[in-house]
């Protein structure tokens, strides 16, 4: 996995060298960034700061606090564990809220979060990356179970909701394969990967993937989440847009829900 990330770093360096040929040597900085920073992941408007530790810390803290607040409020309102679809919706909303809070402090630029137009070629590559992510994380999860014997799955309720009824499957596909990937990619790739990107592709990829995995809990899900995190980080780096990463994440989740509906339904 590390060798794959290193190869991505070499690709990035070659790409930047090629594009830098069109820039004048010794160009003066524009606002907070030099001309060579334009288009780099984590950098937005030239007169605004790039993503950094401020956004990472605030984004993660806001995500944790908003999750606790929203889920706690739902439990208090419902009087029991909230319905799974409502909990999934709450998770997506808190991720988007955390992104908004982190970006509003200094950066105030959706471009810094990777919200950039992208060609359909990259969208289809995102679909392929999602399929690859699902295949690899299935293997990693099976290996994890074989080594540790740990079969605890905090996301079992998601599979049961997807397999319980047609309405449940549609709801999980809409929320778990569209809204959740959007919120999580903007947070874990847009904010965290973008903030770590100044330290290089390897650090940013492994760091953001590790945080993404830990956010899914210390369980059988962690290893698979790290795999998805690495693949979506590389897709984001290569495309310079968050959308292919969102597509890859969404396809991975959709396959999980559809598989659950077929096997458990």
Q: What DSSP designation does 191 have?
A: I
The closest of 59, 63, 37, 61 to 48, measured between CA atoms, is 37
pLDDT at 36 exceeding the cut of 80: no
For residues 113 and 216, is the Cβ–Cβ distance under 8 A? no
The closest of 51, 94, 52 to 73, measured between CA atoms, is 94
Residues 6+ apart with CB under 8 A from 149: none
* pTM of the entire predicted model: 0.84
Could you report the per-residue pLDDT of 180-199, keeping only the tens digit for each? 999 999 999 999 999 999 99
pLDDT at 132 exceeding the cut of 70: yes
pLDDT at 242 exceeding the cut of 90: yes
Work out the average pLDDT over 85-101.
Answer: 95
The closest of 128, 148, 129 to 222, measured between CA atoms, is 148
Q: At what angle do helices 84-105 and 166-174 cross, to 10 degrees?
A: 10
The closest of 177, 179, 209, 167 to 192, measured between CA atoms, is 209
Could you report the per-residue pLDDT of 105-115, keeping only the tens digit for each? 999 999 999 99
**Whole-angstrom Cα distance, residue 92 to residue 102?**
16
Token pair of 241 as six digits: 């847009």
pLDDT at 45 exceeding the cut of 50: yes
Per-residue CA distances from 134 to 119, 164, 183, 231, 257 (Å): 23, 22, 19, 10, 11
């Amino acid at each position: 996995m590390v060798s794959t990330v290193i190869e991505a770093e070499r690709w990035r360096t070659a790409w930047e060298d090629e594009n830098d040929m069109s820039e004048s040597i010794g160009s003066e900085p524009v606002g907070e960034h030099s001309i060579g920073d334009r288009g780099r992941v984590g950098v937005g408007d030239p007169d605004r700061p790039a993503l950094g530790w401020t956004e990472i810390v605030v984004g993660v803290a806001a995500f944790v606090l908003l999750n606790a607040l929203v889920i706690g409020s739902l439990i208090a309102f419902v009087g029991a564990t909230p319905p799974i679809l409502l909990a999934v919706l709450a998770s997506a909303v808190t991720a988007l809220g955390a992104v908004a809070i982190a970006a509003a402090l200094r950066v105030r630029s959706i471009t810094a979060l990777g919200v950039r137009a992208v060609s359909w070629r990259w969208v289809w590559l995102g679909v392929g990356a999602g399929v690859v992510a699902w295949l690899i994380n299935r293997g990693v999860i099976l290996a994890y179970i074989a080594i540790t014997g740990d079969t605890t799955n905090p996301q079992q309720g998601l599979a049961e909701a997807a397999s319980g009824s047609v309405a449940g499957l549609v709801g999980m596909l809409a929320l778990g394969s569209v809204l959740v990937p959007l919120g999580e990619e903007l947070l874990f790739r847009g904010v965290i990967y973008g903030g770590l990107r100044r330290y290089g592709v390897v650090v940013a990829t492994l760091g953001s993937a590790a945080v993404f995995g830990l956010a899914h809990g210390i369980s059988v899900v962690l290893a698979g989440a790290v795999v998805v995190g690495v693949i979506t980080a590389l897709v984001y780096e290569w495309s310079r847009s968050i959308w292919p990463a969102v597509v890859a994440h969404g396809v991975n989740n959709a396959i999980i829900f559809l598989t659950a509906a077929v096997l458990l339904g």
